[in-house]
Chains A and B, each alone.
Chain A
Amino acid sequence: MATVSDKTEQPAILAKVKPAPWKDAPLVENRRSFHWVTEKICGIVESKTPNWWWWCFITALCIASFTGMGLVYLVSTGVGVWGNNNPVNWGWAIVNFVFWIGIGHAGTLISAILCLLKQKWRTSINRASEAMTVFAVLCAGIFPLFHVGRVWFAWWLFPIPNANAIWPQFRSPLEWDVFAVSTYATVSILFWYMGMIPDLAVIRDRAKETWRKYFYGVLSMGWRNANNHWRNFEMAYLLLAGLSTPLVLSVHTIVSFDFAVANLPGWHTTIFPPYFVAGAIFSGFGMVLTLLLPVRAIYGLHDLITQKHIDNICKITLATGSMVGYAYSMEFFIAWYGANPYEGFAFINRAFGNYWWSYWIMVSCNVICPQLFWFKKIRENTPLVWIISIFVNIGMWFERFVIANTTLSRDFLPSSWGYYSPTVVDIFTFFGTFGFFSVLFLLFLRFLPLMPMAEVKSVMPQADPHGGKH
């Protein structure tokens, strides 16, 4: 933090000007103590399971079973139970994959990039966001795995030495996806878990029941709060943050290659990587808002997740939403400027063709909705922020739908133009993944520390008794 000292020499021209010190809002409000933080976070895990949790958990389990049933039917009968057809060979499966993978971006961005950028406000939201990332990637993984015609041979995508001496094809973006997504999932899980170790140790130390002692004992891997533990921990954390940072950019870049490397009008564009990354961050932050606002309300975490946090997330959403909007308009410009009639048609068709409604849902949710965040009043209206965040999620799902389907349904030869609509199985399988996600997130809320206690404490005023004057 920059400090102003009277002793330093002032340039003459500024003699009369004395900038007022910028007062940052505190990251933990109401002058809470360290003990309060520990009690608050551990209390969530240690208290009796609340009724609402059970209701939510059972409902989520039921919803998740839709995915299970959908997949059993799919594998036993054939991909035909979905709505895919000849011009539109991908349909919802890939839309859902990109959607979930996109959501998985905010967590790592918050924990890695904001960590490197020393954004202290990240501390109270990074754990939940990372959990969200991990679970979203798990949901995302279902779709590319099960969309293949013969799931039982999906392992052929991995470079495993085999008797046939056939290797995967390394030129295919789907192959890159395999590496990108699995690396991302591994690093995200590591990062998430490693960050949790000190907190798990706290819960272990406070545990009374035997199972808790063992459960958290094993998970905390012998953490003793020793100095060298902390030293190693912080170095490892930094290294993982450094490792994850390019991954945030690479995963969605590679996912965008699934489209950009293909030669179809509307897919084959160089704008896709940055545009997809911006979109992914946009949707990820949307989902962070969607998840954390209820959690904050239910557990009374207003002192830890403050208006400042919400403000910041809203602003990032606004920024990335505008980037996405810029990308949409730039796509049109290039399609016109490139003078390729097939490209040109693909974009006019997006806006006014057979799926025009999905395009305009996308534009209103992704470009227009977040513009409301320019207004402080709206950012301070938590219910409204939450509703807008839902719109952002919807909009981003439709963005992928628009990209995947408008292009495929009307490509080069008008003779093969078709129309895609999902079946009940498509809808239920996708709907079920929200249940799956919720099951995992509820388990996380119940059994794992929601926030990194040590990190939160480190950004509290008490952590810096000298007021940063050293």
Chain B
Amino acid sequence: MIQLSENSENIQGKRYWKSLDDLADTPGFRSWVENEFPEGASFIDGVQRRGFLKVMAASFGLAGLGMTGCRRPEHAILPHGRSPEELIPGVPAFYSSARPTSSGFIPLIVESHEGRPTKIEGNPSYAPGGGSTDIYTQASVLDLYDPDRARGCFINETESKGSDTSSRWKKLPSAKITENLSQLENLERVAILVEHSSSSARESLLTKLQAKKAKVYSYEAIDFTSPEKGLSKLLGLKKATRTSPNFSKSRKVLSLDSDFLGHREPNSAVNTKQFMQGRKVHSPKDSKGMNRLYSVESDLTITGGVADHRLRLSSSQIEGFSALILSKLLQTSADKNDKLLAHLDSLSEGLESQEEWASECANDLLINSKHSLAVAGSHLPASVHLLTYKINQVLGNHGTCLDYLQIEDSAGDLSSLCESLENKDIDTLIFLGGNPVYHCPSIDWADLIKSTSSTYRLGASIDETSQLCDYHTGQSHFLECWDIGKTWTQDAYAPTQPLLAPIFDTLSDLELLSSVLGEIKNSHDIVKSYFDEIPDISENFENFLKHGVSPAKSASLKDLPNADTAILKIEGDQIEISASSLEVLLVPDFHTWDGQFSNNGWMMECPHPITKLTWDNAILISPVLAKQLESKHPDLGLLPKATMLNKNGQIAPDAAVFQDGKQKAPIVTLDVGDHHQITAPLYVQPGLADYTVVSTIGQGRSRVGRVGSGTGFNTCSLLHSDSKRISNGATIKPTGDFHILANVQEHWSMEGRAIVRETNAKYYAEHEDFAQKMGSESHSPPMWGKDQDASLAEKATTTPRGNSAYEHPDHTYEHSETFGLHQWGMSIDLNQCTGCSACVVACQSENNIPIVGKDQVLRGREMHWMRLDRYFSSEERDGAELPSDVQVSFQGVACMHCETAPCESVCPVNATVHDEEGLNAMAYNRCVGTRYCANNCPYKVRRFNFFDWNKRDTNELYQGPIGEKNDSLVDMGKNPDVTVRMRGVMEKCTYCVQRIQESKIRVKVNAQRKAKLESGKDGADINLSVKDLKVPDGTIKTACQQVCPSDAIAFGDLSDPESEVSKLKTNPRDYSVLGYLNTRPRTTFLAKVRNPNPKMPDYTKKPHAYREYSDKAYPADHGKSKKKDSH
């Protein structure tokens, strides 16, 4: 499946790899190996920038002596007598690497500035990912500089095991740990509990350990492998069966409670890339080939937001629903199996009201058989996966749209570990990553561990699990160690290559495991020797590192076993779901994943795409349930009292009670059974199944660093021992307390304003320019006068005279010396955006955007330059009622770089000015902070430094000069190309001006070099032509653009009619937000096109947002249009 991108080597100036390969046998190399983890490395404990730079300078110095390895030996501080090869101060280096996750290795390119990794990008050589990444990978670079990392290895000096021992950790050299482990004699009595990983190197070490009788168990709270194992068991297969969908080939997709575009399912970036390609619509012709998504789900996910048809259904009912779909499919097929059909009918009992929806959906899938796809959520029971398997089989999708991969897994599960511990079979217990003590509060860990003689923990920080262990071994960040593993779909190997030596005296999982095997080796040697054993990689290690990926053979299932008998064995449990017996769905937390990002400020502060909550989790309930609770407990204050504006339809009601702009949420206890209980605040979420409540795992950690402490609510007690995440029969009881939630978007409705413009494919096919017909500018007196018909790009880059009587300077290139060579512009395709929010974190990482903490978010001072606005729209707006069924529209909003920018004209000190290439530039040094620009910005994209965010800890902001300064470790991750802003200045998106400048300089240098060679003249005499200085289209990618898995963002030169962005701007779907203000923004949007099926019962002729707009803009036609539009 993997295709190596042809251009990967042609990118100017970037280097992806370093290799030690051919030096491996020299004596110099051997001595280098010995110095790999020098004892002295610990002297940089409590790193200072100077010290760090000294060390790095030293390593670069040595690199110049012929060592080209990317980790360099540290000997002494040497000045650069001669500049080391490939190191130009100020010019970043790029290396390939990969991030190991429980859902596969993610191939990466990492940017490094003078030895410090600052930014992670996807590896474009891995075609399915195409250079994009998911949000967690973007944020993971911050963990390297987490001030609360375990800075080395520790021994727990508490006498009694099990009690909280936070202050009793004493530092220990890592060599001592490896030495201890290598001396373990009786490996039979060693148990290792590992977190899930696709690391092949780790797999081989574990196999070796198992061969020596060591016991290996694996555990993951968000277990993606359980449906694989479950499906295999039902089908009678030995190996786990992984479903590997290929969305790029599927034209109709049915998602059964699967958030395949979002964070809840593995491989979301690749899925998004593939799926959203099928939604690119550039002309009415394309709209016919657009794919269609049916989503049946209990929680409102971003996948449900993209869906063309969305059905709210409790997760427990998905089994019945998939049976319904299957039965509809089978009814039309040639060979009817009456027994099977009858069984399916019994399974789908109680879903009569969904019959029409299901049958039309099934018809649509069937029409597109071989090019359709059904996917089921990984939290669903194996029976659903079996039914989904059968659905795909009936549709003949295997081989075209999906593959079944055979996955080896020999590790035992958590319950067998508990059993062994209870039987006192284990002397040494090693926790390798993960945080099982936090995830499984139902297990009495302290008691179980008593029987062991020593417990080791490898973890990034001292957490809940470490507290119970004797030794905590600091885990090297993946940018500090070597590894090799496969992607989720098993189609490629990717190397994890370190960009710097471990900052602290830490170990990687491979190093720890190999020491248990009795070999104290560093991770490079382990990976190198493992690499040499892999039969299916033909290229050498050097080339492997250079590309960062190498195709792998995957074991896919050739002959599909028949599922009929297994389906007949499914016992459909009729579960009662009602207000008094609620269904509880636990999903991984958007912010922390399973808790591992709890101390990552970027993730904690990135608003959840749907709820827009930061820093907290909550129990999500449907508006219907909220209303019932409110009537039972009137003092709950869950839904706000209707105001006059709500009642007369001026604006929709808020979804929550906001007090002074802060969401006041009642805290409730959620009881499941007798002892499973959680306490958390309620959040009313339109779009939820009526009686399903959703909460997230991964918050409310008790032992966590400064960022995550005191955030969120722990829900792990609801997690079943087999990682099952659906519970039933729950009740909600208010505690009478309230919690303040930091919600960054108070209002959910667009209020009929033409902000996100959207329509249906069918309407679009007839009205290509529908977006131009919306908004005040479409029916106000022509403000552009005779230039009314010019394209938006033209309006933005030229100075349309309109009807103005005044003479303006002509800024066109031919007439002005100050007119820039390029005219930058951006186009955001709203049809492509899923709302995954990766751009938000990518921007934060690229532009040194600080986090401000929950308290400041509550005050409305979050700093994100790029934000994702999320709007809901509903079919009917009933006064003050909150709708249950909503359509979701996302809109990424950053500085629009208006040509007639309202911010520029009001700044009294000229701190924000227009540059000749159309950028709305912000001179931080000149800004005095009147904030007038932010007031006057209609898009509200300007961000003010109310405090010294970068200088002080978020808890110390109000202490002013007497407050404590931030840990300097965090400063090392900053991008040196971007100014770190001080308090009192305004900041905003710059279109990544540092990337623009870098490319412009590179192009100019190359052009000069070329001209010099050709003409033989010296620098000053060369006259470079405009053509030579132009940056080729596609060279510059803004951070948000680069990360976007669905390619929703295009950036480039508007003065070049052939550039991608210029072409997009001539598309009739192109429109400016608030165009009537005549701000002439450089960022314009391509209107959204939904693709509903006219035969479906929930079909409406126009999307709800469009109808809301026309009802408000043309109130006279209100009754008429409603009749026309509905059904």
Chain A residues proximal to chain B, CB less than 8 Å? 73, 76-81, 83-90, 147-150, 153-154, 156-157, 166-169, 171-175, 178, 258, 261-264, 340-342, 345, 348-349, 352-353, 356, 408, 411-421
In the complex, are the beta carbons of A90 and B931 less than 8 A apart? yes
In the complex, are the beta carbons of B927 and A174 less than 8 A apart? no
Given A415-B893, A418-B860, decide whether A76 and B910 contact each other with a Cβ distance below 8 A: no
Would you call B151 an interface residue if the criterion is a C-beta within 8 Å of the partner chain's C-beta atoms?
A: no
Which residue of chain B lies nearest to A415 when distances are taken between CB atoms in the complex? B869
Which residue of chain B lies nearest to A80 when distances are taken between CB atoms in the complex? B946
A18 to chain B, nearest CB (A): 60
Q: With the chains together, A345 CA to B749 CA distance in Å?
A: 14
Q: With the chains together, A174 CA to B944 CA distance in Å?
A: 18
In the complex, are the beta carbons of A149 and B939 less than 8 A apart? no
Q: With the chains together, A202 CA to B1075 CA distance in Å?
A: 67
In the complex, are the beta carbons of B932 and A172 less than 8 A apart? yes
In the complex, are the beta carbons of A79 and B661 less than 8 A apart? no
In the complex, are the beta carbons of B902 and A414 less than 8 A apart? no
Q: With the chains together, A111 CA to B284 CA distance in Å?
A: 72
Q: With the chains together, A107 CA to B412 CA distance in Å?
A: 88
- B residues 623-671 near A (Cβ < 8 Å) are 643-645, 650-651, 658, 660-661
Which residue of chain B lies nearest to A93 when distances are taken between CB atoms in the complex? B931
A96 to chain B, nearest CB (A): 15
Which residue of chain B lies nearest to A172 when distances are taken between CB atoms in the complex? B908
Give the residues in chain A near B948, CB-CB below 8 Å.
78
Chain B residues proximal to chain A, CB less than 8 Å? 643-645, 650-651, 658, 660-661, 745-753, 755, 776, 856, 859-862, 867, 869-871, 891, 893, 902, 905-910, 926-932, 934-936, 938-940, 943-948, 957-961, 983-986, 1073-1074, 1077, 1112-1113
In the complex, are the beta carbons of A83 and B859 less than 8 A apart? yes
In the complex, are the beta carbons of A421 and B946 less than 8 A apart? no
Given A77-B947, A148-B930, A345-B650, decide whether A413 and B893 contact each other with a Cβ distance below 8 A: yes
Which residue of chain B lies nearest to A412 when distances are taken between CB atoms in the complex? B938
Given A169-B909, A262-B936, decide whether A348 and B751 contact each other with a Cβ distance below 8 A: no
Which residue of chain A lies nearest to B868 when distances are taken between CB atoms in the complex? A415
Given A168-B908, A169-B909, A418-B661, decide whether A78 and B984 contact each other with a Cβ distance below 8 A: yes
Give the residues in chain A near B935, CB-CB below 8 Å.
89-90, 262, 264, 408
A141 to chain B, nearest CB (A): 15
Q: With the chains together, A167 CA to B948 CA distance in Å?
A: 27
In the complex, are the beta carbons of A419 and B936 less than 8 A apart? no
Q: Rank and list the top 10 A-B pairs by shortest CB-CB distance, nearest first.
A: A149-B929, A149-B984, A419-B661, A85-B860, A77-B960, A80-B946, A415-B869, A89-B931, A416-B940, A150-B984
Q: With the chains together, A77 CA to B944 CA distance in Å?
A: 14
A147 to chain B, nearest CB (A): 7
In the complex, are the beta carbons of B661 and A421 less than 8 A apart? yes
A351 to chain B, nearest CB (A): 9
Interface SS majority for chain B: loop
Q: With the chains together, A85 CA to B928 CA distance in Å?
A: 17
In the complex, are the beta carbons of A81 and B958 less than 8 A apart? yes
B745 to chain A, nearest CB (A): 5
Give the residues in chain B near A411, CB-CB below 8 Å.
938, 940
In the complex, are the beta carbons of B961 and A415 less than 8 A apart? no
In the complex, are the beta carbons of A414 and B753 less than 8 A apart? yes
In the complex, are the beta carbons of A352 and B645 less than 8 A apart? yes
B204 to chain A, nearest CB (A): 50
Which residue of chain B lies nearest to A423 when distances are taken between CB atoms in the complex? B859
Give the residues in chain B near A90, CB-CB below 8 Å.
931, 935
A392 to chain B, nearest CB (A): 27
Q: With the chains together, A262 CA to B1079 CA distance in Å?
A: 12
Give the residues in chain A near B644, CB-CB below 8 Å.
352, 356
In the complex, are the beta carbons of A157 and B893 less than 8 A apart? no
In the complex, are the beta carbons of B650 and A149 less than 8 A apart? no
The contact sample of 17 A-B pairs, CB cut-off 8 A, is: A78-B957, A86-B860, A90-B935, A150-B929, A150-B985, A172-B932, A178-B908, A262-B906, A341-B752, A413-B940, A414-B747, A415-B745, A416-B869, A416-B939, A417-B747, A419-B661, A419-B746
Among B658, B749, B891, B984, the residue within 8 A (CB) of A79 is B984
**Most interface-central of B747, B929, B939, B957 (chain A CB within 10 A):** B929
Known: A80-B958, A264-B938, A352-B650. 18 other contacts (CB 8 A): A79-B944, A84-B944, A85-B661, A86-B861, A89-B935, A90-B931, A148-B984, A149-B930, A150-B929, A150-B983, A150-B985, A168-B909, A169-B907, A172-B906, A263-B936, A352-B643, A412-B940, A417-B747
B305 to chain A, nearest CB (A): 15
Give the residues in chain A near B927, CB-CB below 8 Å.
149-150
In the complex, are the beta carbons of B909 and A157 less than 8 A apart? yes
Given A169-B907, A345-B650, decide whether A415 and B934 contact each other with a Cβ distance below 8 A: no
Q: With the chains together, A84 CA to B945 CA distance in Å?
A: 11
Q: With the chains together, A352 CA to B650 CA distance in Å?
A: 10
In the complex, are the beta carbons of A78 and B985 less than 8 A apart? no
Q: With the chains together, A84 CA to B942 CA distance in Å?
A: 14
Q: With the chains together, A147 CA to B984 CA distance in Å?
A: 10
Give the residues in chain A near B749, CB-CB below 8 Å.
414
B899 to chain A, nearest CB (A): 14
In the complex, are the beta carbons of A85 and B861 less than 8 A apart? yes
Which residue of chain A lies nearest to B960 when distances are taken between CB atoms in the complex? A77
Give the residues in chain B near A80, CB-CB below 8 Å.
856, 859, 861, 946-947, 957-958, 983
In the complex, are the beta carbons of A421 and B660 less than 8 A apart? yes
Which residue of chain A lies nearest to B935 when distances are taken between CB atoms in the complex? A89
Give the residues in chain A near B870, CB-CB below 8 Å.
415
Q: With the chains together, A169 CA to B136 CA distance in Å?
A: 43
In the complex, are the beta carbons of A147 and B930 less than 8 A apart? yes
A98 to chain B, nearest CB (A): 14
A68 to chain B, nearest CB (A): 16
In the complex, are the beta carbons of A150 and B943 less than 8 A apart? no
Among B660, B905, B1074, the residue within 8 A (CB) of A412 is B1074
B889 to chain A, nearest CB (A): 11
Which residue of chain A lies nearest to B647 when distances are taken between CB atoms in the complex? A352
Give the residues in chain B near A262, CB-CB below 8 Å.
902, 906, 932, 935-936
In the complex, are the beta carbons of A420 and B939 less than 8 A apart? no
Q: With the chains together, A254 CA to B834 CA distance in Å?
A: 46
In the complex, are the beta carbons of B940 and A79 less than 8 A apart? no
Give the residues in chain B near A417, CB-CB below 8 Å.
746-747
Q: With the chains together, A353 CA to B862 CA distance in Å?
A: 24
A359 to chain B, nearest CB (A): 12
In the complex, are the beta carbons of B928 and A173 less than 8 A apart? no
Q: With the chains together, A81 CA to B946 CA distance in Å?
A: 8
Given A348-B645, A415-B869, decide whether A420 and B944 contact each other with a Cβ distance below 8 A: no
